[in-house]
Chain A
Amino acid sequence: MHIVTVVRLVPDLLEEIQVNEQGTDIDREWIGVKLCEFDDHALEEAVLIKEATGATVTALGIAVEGIDRVLQSAVARGADRAVKIECGETNLDSRSFAKLLSETLPQLKPDLVLAGVQTPEDLFGQLVPFLGTLMGRPHASGVTGAQAEGNAVKIQQEYGAGRAARLTLALPAVLGIQSASQPPRYVSGTKLRQAIQGTKIETLSATASAGGSGTVKEMRRPARGQGAEMIEGEAEEVAGKIYDALVGRGLVGGK
Chain B
Amino acid sequence: MAKPLVLAALMLLAFSFAGYRFFLRLRPMFSAPGIDRLDHIGERLWGLVPNVLLHRRLLNIRYSGILHAMIFSSFIVLFTAIVQAFGSGLFPGFSLAPVGGNSVIALLQDVFAVVIMIGVGMAFYNRYVIKPARFKGSNNKDATVILILVTGVVTSMLLEFSFHIAAGGDPSAPWRPLSSTIARLLEALGFEGESADRAAHVFYWVHVCVILSFLTYIPGSKHLHMFAAIPNIFLRNIGPKGQSRTPDPKAAHIGLSDVRALDWKGMLDLYSCTECGRCQAACPAYAAGLPLSPKILIMNMRDALIDETVTHTATAPAAVPAAGSNLEALVGSVISEQTLWSCTTCRACMEVCPLHIEHVPKIIDMRRHMVEEGHVTPGIQDAMASFQQYGNSFKKPPRMRAKWTSGLDFKIKDARKEEVDILWFVGDYASYDPRVQRITQTVARLLQKAGVDFGILYDAEQNSGNDVRRVGDEGLFQTLSEHNIEALGNCSFKRIMTTDPHSLNALRQEYPAQGAEYEVVHYTQLLLELMREGKIAKAANEKVQGTVTYHDPCYLGRYNNGFEPPRQIMAELGYKLHEMARCRENSFCCGAGGGRIWQDDTGVKERPSENRIREALALGDATIFAVACPKDLVMYTAAVQSLAVEDKIQVKDIAELFA
Residues of chain A whose beta carbon lies under 8 Å from any beta carbon of chain B: 12, 14-15, 32, 34, 183, 185-194
Q: Which residues of A contact B385 (CB under 8 A)?
A: 186
Residues of chain B whose beta carbon lies under 8 Å from any beta carbon of chain A: 254, 371-372, 374-376, 378, 380-381, 384-385, 388-389, 395-397, 468, 473-479
A36 to B134, CA, bound (A): 51
Does A188 contact B476, Cβ atoms closer than 8 Å? yes
A14 to B395, CA, bound (A): 8
Does B374 contact A190, Cβ atoms closer than 8 Å? no
Does B473 contact A32, Cβ atoms closer than 8 Å? no
B303 to chain A, nearest CB (A): 29
Q: Which residues of A contact B468 (CB under 8 A)?
A: 189
Does A189 contact B397, Cβ atoms closer than 8 Å? no
Q: Which of B375, B380, B474 contacts A190 (CB 8 A)?
A: B474
Does B477 contact A187, Cβ atoms closer than 8 Å? no
Does A191 contact B372, Cβ atoms closer than 8 Å? yes
Nearest-neighbor residue (CB-CB) of B386 within chain A? A14
Q: Which of A12, A15, A34, A190 contacts B475 (CB 8 A)?
A: A190
Does A188 contact B397, Cβ atoms closer than 8 Å? no
Q: Which residues of B contact A191 (CB under 8 A)?
A: 372, 475
Does A14 contact B478, Cβ atoms closer than 8 Å? no
A34 to B475, CA, bound (A): 20
Given A186-B381, A188-B473, the answer on whether A193 and B371 have CB atoms closer than 8 Å is no
Q: Which residues of A contact B389 (CB under 8 A)?
A: 34
A117 to B468, CA, bound (A): 33
A32 to B371, CA, bound (A): 27
B480 to chain A, nearest CB (A): 8
Does A192 contact B475, Cβ atoms closer than 8 Å? yes
Known: A190-B372, A192-B476. 10 other contacts (CB 8 A): A14-B396, A186-B380, A186-B385, A187-B374, A188-B473, A189-B468, A189-B475, A189-B476, A191-B475, A193-B475
Q: Which residues of A contact B378 (CB under 8 A)?
A: 183
Does A189 contact B477, Cβ atoms closer than 8 Å? yes
Q: Which residues of B contact A14 (CB under 8 A)?
A: 395-397
Does A193 contact B397, Cβ atoms closer than 8 Å? no
A207 to B475, CA, bound (A): 38
Given A14-B395, A14-B397, the answer on whether A189 and B388 have CB atoms closer than 8 Å is yes
A189 to B468, CA, bound (A): 10
Q: Which residues of B contact A34 (CB under 8 A)?
A: 389
A48 to chain B, nearest CB (A): 13
B571 to chain A, nearest CB (A): 43
Q: Which residues of A contact B371 (CB under 8 A)?
A: 186, 188
Given A185-B374, A186-B371, the answer on whether A192 and B388 have CB atoms closer than 8 Å is yes
28 A-B Cβ contacts within 8 A?
A14-B397, A183-B378, A186-B374, A186-B375, A186-B380, A186-B381, A186-B384, A187-B374, A188-B371, A188-B374, A188-B473, A188-B474, A188-B476, A189-B473, A189-B475, A189-B478, A190-B372, A190-B473, A190-B474, A190-B475, A191-B372, A191-B475, A192-B388, A192-B475, A193-B475, A193-B478, A193-B479, A194-B475
Nearest-neighbor residue (CB-CB) of A190 within chain B? B475
A186 to B254, CA, bound (A): 16
A186 to B383, CA, bound (A): 11
Most chain-A CB neighbours within 10 Å: which of B371, B380, B477? B371
Q: Which of A15, A183, A187, A189 contacts B479 (CB 8 A)?
A: A189
Does A15 contact B397, Cβ atoms closer than 8 Å? yes
Nearest-neighbor residue (CB-CB) of B468 within chain A? A189
Nearest-neighbor residue (CB-CB) of A40 within chain B? B385
Q: Which residues of B contact A12 (CB under 8 A)?
A: 397
B436 to chain A, nearest CB (A): 20
B46 to chain A, nearest CB (A): 39
A192 to B385, CA, bound (A): 11
Q: Which residues of B contact A193 (CB under 8 A)?
A: 475, 478-479
A183 to chain B, nearest CB (A): 8
A118 to B9, CA, bound (A): 84
Q: Which residues of A contact B380 (CB under 8 A)?
A: 186
B447 to chain A, nearest CB (A): 29
Q: Which residues of A contact B474 (CB under 8 A)?
A: 188-190
Q: Which residues of B contact A190 (CB under 8 A)?
A: 254, 372, 473-476, 478
A193 to B397, CA, bound (A): 21
A177 to B388, CA, bound (A): 24
Q: Which residues of A contact B473 (CB under 8 A)?
A: 188-190
A197 to chain B, nearest CB (A): 11
A32 to B399, CA, bound (A): 10
A12 to B385, CA, bound (A): 14
Nearest-neighbor residue (CB-CB) of B382 within chain A? A186
Nearest-neighbor residue (CB-CB) of B371 within chain A? A188
B227 to chain A, nearest CB (A): 39
Sorted nearest first, the 9 A-B pairs with minimum C-beta distance are: A189-B476, A189-B475, A190-B475, A186-B381, A186-B374, A193-B475, A185-B374, A189-B473, A188-B371
B252 to chain A, nearest CB (A): 12
Nearest-neighbor residue (CB-CB) of B398 within chain A? A32
Most chain-A CB neighbours within 10 Å: which of B378, B385, B395? B385
B246 to chain A, nearest CB (A): 12
A168 to chain B, nearest CB (A): 30
Q: Which residues of B contact A188 (CB under 8 A)?
A: 371-372, 374, 473-476
Nearest-neighbor residue (CB-CB) of A15 within chain B? B397
A183 to B381, CA, bound (A): 11
Q: Which residues of A contact B375 (CB under 8 A)?
A: 186
A186 to B475, CA, bound (A): 13
Q: Which residues of B contact A185 (CB under 8 A)?
A: 374
Q: Which residues of A contact B475 (CB under 8 A)?
A: 188-194
A125 to B593, CA, bound (A): 42
Q: Which residues of A contact B476 (CB under 8 A)?
A: 188-190, 192
A190 to B473, CA, bound (A): 7
Nearest-neighbor residue (CB-CB) of B381 within chain A? A186
A185 to B64, CA, bound (A): 49
